[in-house]
Amino acid sequence: MGKRPTMSDVARLAGVSPATVSNVLGNRKPVEPALAERVQKAASDLDYQVDRAASRLRSGKTNVVAVVVPSLENPFFASLVASIEMEAQKDNYDIIVSSTNESDAAEHSRVSALLSWRPSGFVVVPTSDRFSGRHLLDRSGIPYVVVDRAPPDQPADTVLVQNTQAAEAVGEHLLDYGHREILVAASSLDLLNIRERSEGVRGTYERLGQPLPSLVEVGGDFETATESLRLWLLTHKRPSAIFALTNVATLGVVAALSRLSIRVPADVSLVGFDDYAWMRAMTPSITAVRQPLIEMSKLAWQRLRSRIQGADLPARQFKLQCHLDIRQSTKIVGPSLVQGGKVGLLPLSKTVKAKRNRS
Amino acid sequence: MGKRPTMSDVARLAGVSPATVSNVLGNRKPVEPALAERVQKAASDLDYQVDRAASRLRSGKTNVVAVVVPSLENPFFASLVASIEMEAQKDNYDIIVSSTNESDAAEHSRVSALLSWRPSGFVVVPTSDRFSGRHLLDRSGIPYVVVDRAPPDQPADTVLVQNTQAAEAVGEHLLDYGHREILVAASSLDLLNIRERSEGVRGTYERLGQPLPSLVEVGGDFETATESLRLWLLTHKRPSAIFALTNVATLGVVAALSRLSIRVPADVSLVGFDDYAWMRAMTPSITAVRQPLIEMSKLAWQRLRSRIQGADLPARQFKLQCHLDIRQSTKIVGPSLVQGGKVGLLPLSKTVKAKRNRS
DNA sequence: TTGTACGCGTTATCAG
DNA sequence: CTGATAACGCGTACAA
């Protein structure tokens, strides 16, 4: 109960000045070991913890970063937050988490509100390609890193995945398995990364002279996605394979197919995006593009930390490679449609090639 | 770029005193409309945001709560954080999120570190029944609410679910479907809530004179759970139904069964815990106990907020009811083993009865 | 090692 | 009753 102890309380108990306590606890200046010990003991006896508000006010240092994501319900963002938190914790940073519920306006207002913390940095997954929090961040001078969705126009530190290449690999995989008529289930084409995925497969089919994939937008949440998919399937010729561009879309496809008693992969093959335990656990296991979530977080954090520490780096865009895990949900339905030896033999687990590259 | 504007900057621009700016922005004291407007304009022209550190230092108010969970990778806790964040946002509170990685020591040190923020309150899911952060929280005098896992001994505000009743309902459901030999897949029996679930089914089987369930501890992560389950199934007589006590255990069971080509529900029935989209999406859909996550969060937040606002309430324990969603993964294998009309007819979606009750 | 000014809003006090 | 002035909260940084 009662009020929390202050540094002066510790100082009094240890019989030293507040300044010394500050020096000991922040090990800023060398202090006589004997004194240091007394101070430490006094501090722990009182369960004393430096007040970050006071500390920040004087020193300007906070050790906190704000993390802004479109939604915490989406397991992809949840996992992202989880691994960023882990990285931050290693460096003794805390994170303030905020979700924008997929609203541009909310993004703006959340960023604005979070600025009042004067955080050391921001990690942002923009809600849309408009990235409406950007202006505020730029004006603030606080370093930030954008993850997953590329900001338009001006460069900024950005950590993305090679969506196009990953989708091309999926296209090749499906062609190699003999699939000619495929359906692409996108969440929303408003997002650049989704468009890249969509155009990736499309490009592959186009280049190889195959019929272009059909495309359906299914929305961002599970229920909607399921229903959209179900409707589409009821009103169109059944494709031989479906490529879902997000984890939610994947789940929607699985549910829709299940409801329509369409079997995977007997009746239709399925490739998902994002890789979650349930995709591996279920029967059939789902062939899916795995995003390097941990690497993304590590890279984003590393970059942000450098900037926080004052490094003067040019804005850079990182594009990490994805990985296609081929599992049971894709079935060979005919001879390979991939010409030449180009992709003659796909390894069971195919790595989408490409390395980091500059913006 | 550059330094952030201060309240004095705004005051100067608006031609008033800093105190007036403070009064306007915090609408604390009535201020002439004309002046107020000038101040608002000046503030927004400068993108001014009050510095929370300075504000807290003087006023003692923070509008931030710390949320401590065992793991952010676990979708149950991730969802919990998501909905708490949503509640908090409505009341203009930010949340600082921290995970203990299922370590008691980390829980203690995380709580200790978070105290340096002087948050308005804590929401804690204890890592273990030891609840090693408790001492610190009690000494701090900061209000806190415990969620999901009950603290031992002394009462504290706690929001739980009726684990026993939920598990009993699962027992009745399985008996009603004619299942005599069942296996309970627990994560770890170190946790009271898991023991309650385990003992719930066990109790039901015992009371009705049926063979007691077998029990296997499968650990807290997916891979381990899958392997433990696989091993158990290889070395024991196959049960007619499996009840998994957590979402991770459920996933592990699904994966193990899939790997062993044991069909659900043809060869074995399955009841899971926690309710996620993938359980509904897959074929067969998984019969599962749904925890009222949103209600839990709302209640926890409401309670915490009352305390933050100074309400002097006696510690209380809330136990919310769960819901058993009967789906395709449980199959009738024989006549009902539930005597009398007691549970003669189970509705397709059975609600585990019981209401909130006092500690 | 310590005294002390300082950072930036807030609040109590005071003036108009 | 409105608005300004000044003290204050609690660590930190710099001079002593």
Q: What is residue A338's predicted lDDT score, i.e. its pLDDT?
A: 85
Q: What is residue A28's predicted lDDT score, i.e. its pLDDT?
A: 86
Q: What is residue B30's predicted lDDT score, i.e. its pLDDT?
A: 87
CA of B116 to C1' of C9 (A): 20
Burial of residue A107, with CB atoms counted within 10 A of its CB: 0-12 exposed, 13-18 middle, 19 or more buried: buried
Q: Which helix (H) or strand (E) holds B202?
A: helix B192-207
Residues 5-24 of A with CB under 7 A from strand D: 6-8, 18-19, 22
Q: What is residue B348's predicted lDDT score, i.e. its pLDDT?
A: 39
Q: In B, which residues are within 8 Å of A78 by CB distance?
A: 72, 75, 78-79, 81-82
Residue B252 touches partner A, C-beta closer than 8 Å: yes
Residue A155 touches partner B, C-beta closer than 8 Å: no
Summary count for chain A: helices (H), strands (E): 13, 13
- Cβ contacts of residue B129 below 8 Å, gap of 6+? B149, B150, B151, B152, B190, B191, B192
Q: Which residues pair with B351 in a beta bridge?
A: B323
Q: Each residue of B306-350: pLDDT tens digit?
A: 999 999 999 999 999 999 999 999 999 999 998 654 443 334 344
CA of B131 vs chain A CAs: smallest distance (Å): 17
Q: Is the CB of A89 under 7 A from strand D?
A: no
- Beta carbons of A57 and B64 less than 8 Å apart: no
Q: Is the CB of B32 under 7 A from strand C?
A: no
Q: In B, which residues are within 8 Å of A141 by CB distance?
A: 1-4
- Beta carbons of B255 and A281 less than 8 Å apart: yes
Q: Is the CB of B7 under 7 A from strand C?
A: yes
Is the distance from CB of B117 to CB of B62 less than 8 angstroms?
Answer: yes
Is the distance from CB of A63 to CB of A119 less than 8 angstroms?
Answer: no
Which nucleotide is closest to B59, CA to C1'?
Answer: C10
Residue A354 touches partner B, C-beta closer than 8 Å: no
Task: Give the closest residue to D6 (Cα–C1′).
Answer: B19
Q: Each residue of B163-221: pLDDT tens digit?
A: 999 999 999 999 999 999 999 999 999 999 999 999 999 999 999 999 999 999 999 99
Q: Find tokens 């978070």 and name the residue.
A: B114
Q: In B, which residues are within 8 Å of A258 by CB distance?
A: 281-283, 285
pLDDT, block means (10 residues), chain A with 359 residues: 85 94 91 91 94 96 97 96 98 98 96 97 97 95 96 92 97 97 97 97 96 96 97 98 97 97 98 95 97 98 96 96 97 86 42 36
Q: What is residue A168's predicted lDDT score, i.e. its pLDDT?
A: 97
Q: What is residue A346's predicted lDDT score, i.e. its pLDDT?
A: 38
Long-range pairs of B6-12 with CB within 8 A, sequence gap ≥ 24? B6/B51, B7/B48, B7/B50, B9/B46, B9/B48, B10/B39, B10/B42, B10/B43, B10/B46, B10/B48, B11/B39, B11/B42
Residue B105 touches partner A, C-beta closer than 8 Å: no
Locate A56 and state its tokens. 């920040």
CA of A277 vs chain B CAs: smallest distance (Å): 7
Q: Which helix (H) or strand (E) holds B265?
A: none
CA distance A133 to A125: 10
- Beta carbons of A97 and B95 less than 8 Å apart: yes
Q: In B, which residues are within 8 Å of A62 by CB distance?
A: 53
DSSP A148: S
Residue A255 touches partner B, C-beta closer than 8 Å: yes
Which residues between 212 and 241 in chain B have a beta carbon less than 8 angstroms from any beta carbon of chain A? Answer: 222, 226
